[in-house]
Chains A and B, each alone.
Chain A
Amino acid sequence: MSALTDLLDRAERVYRDWRFTTVKEWKARTGGLAVGYMPVWVPREVLHAQGVLPVGVMGAGDDLEIIRGDAYYQSYICHIPRSTIELALNGSLDCLDGMLFPATCDVIRNLSGIWKLTFADKLVRYYDTPQDFDPARGGAFVRKDLEELSEDLARRGARPLTAAALRRSVEAYNENRRLVRGLYDLRRDAPWKVPTYELYVLLRAGMVLPVEESSAMLASYRAAVEADTSRRPMDQARVVLSGSFCEQPPLGLLKTLERSGCYIVDDDLAQVHRWIRSDVPLEGDPLDALVAASLHDAIPHPTRWSEGEKKGEDLVERVRRSRAGGVLFAAPSFCDPALLDQPMAVAAIERAGIPWTAFKYAENGGQFQVIREQAGTFADSIKLWSAA
């Protein structure tokens, strides 16, 4: 029990450490480069294969007062770019040798430009993930993008990319993704064993720590919770949390949802660990395999063109697979992809006769009473009237 507590304490310390102490320690120890990335579509394997530490930068949550970051954005822009700029301006990100900005929305896209203007000495790349999924078109384009990224990293002192190293990195991340999927499965089957706020801090720590350390942490956690007989089921409603893929909800909000009577049995949190759905094949050219995974094995997503799919059907399927009784749509305020997607997802959910409710949040929100009441009422309604 105390080993579990220690593990979770460490994960939460890493998650809350906006000074990125572990990254600085890693750099001092290895002399390697560290490159930050924003959600969601990050090819961490390429960085890892070149000896670069990929570091997830997900804003500063509710732990940092935003002073200069607000001077960069109007009131109707979401919170994550403000706190990210704040982190950069207060020196927290000095340990990063570069930043990757994957294509998720106009705000993050333009943040890459702010970075270029402000931190001219750093590697800054906008990573334009393909919206055309034909291997000869989108595949060739993204492969070239990855090769250019790799060359940029090498110019800054990273090891050149080799197929052998990339294959080893793919293997390391496959293992990590398997562990994450395993914990999601365990939470689906026995949510009392894996509270979401615990899983979440592990995932967040895994975005900062080296993948090998993250995998060890996930495996230890799983062994500990499976052995823990004190965790027993409660009368809670099973829900899917949808829409929180970029700016993350504060940890207090996740705890609030669970305390209000919900078991979160699937979610969109920290998706960098799960955007590739299954193992990337180790046979053949590993870069081709990674490209193919990004085209054909990526999760359906509000920021990804839905080619031939009926919008929202994937969410319906996730609800069924996780045996959830309803959906909590939880989007950050002013998040265009999530909020524009929501009416289509809601329509699909309603067609399937699944109950839902919706609220918005900001990463630094601190008042959850209203959400607690809303989620509690929703959980009660599921338990009382739903067939699920």
Chain B
Amino acid sequence: MSKEMIICDNVSKTFETSRGDVNVIGNVSLTVNENELLVLFGPGQCGKSTLLNCMSGLERVTTGSVTINGRTIDSPGPDRGVVYQRTALFPWLTVMGNVEYGPKVRGMSKSERREKAQYYINLVGLEGFENSYPNQLSGGMQQRVGIARAYCNEPDVLFMDEPFGHLDAQTRYLMQEDLIKIWEKEKRTVVFVTNNIEEAVYLADRIAVLTNCPTTVKTEYEINLPRPRDYIDPEFLRLREEISSVVDKAL
């Protein structure tokens, strides 16, 4: 029924290092539908981020191919947005400067891009902080800037690489809740990487469980719970339990 947005076809990735080749991604075939929120869930260090980087074009695949919207991905590009674990905000730019960066380098006029950036700054709840520098903001607020910056380029797909991994538990819950609100308002295809099962079940339309390195897709779960989800709903807890028992133990 819905369109296939991202297609990973037999993707593998091997890094050449001084100690020989390291095979990080085994053989992954995966599709992500338009406006779907897919969570890549797996143990720590299993290659989730590498798989995400292959999908976004930051890394090149060794074999196989990634296509987004019918186009083969082999380099970074503004049709894809990335939210990073370590935020990767430009520290010398203000919140406004960071959010409008994408449209600016792509040549959008100042008034147009300011208006657009303001819309996304408001969307993530940072109205009034436009002129603050990243180091003046809390971790949660910095990640909101990261989300607004990725959204502001109006990409087809958004890749989120453990964006809440560095936040404290309380902020993390709040950010998960707000991310769903933002996403429901501005639907995009999202691939979200996490090693936190609670986060995975809370956010996902579908969870792809990954194995240890070299990673492959072990199994997939459709999560059909209504939103907003309740962390202590019996069905939520059952899914959490079931998926936890399937995933490999981190080394």
Do A and B truly interact? no
Q: Give me the interface of B with A, judged by CB distance under 8 Å.
A: none
Q: Give me the interface of A with B, judged by CB distance under 8 Å.
A: none
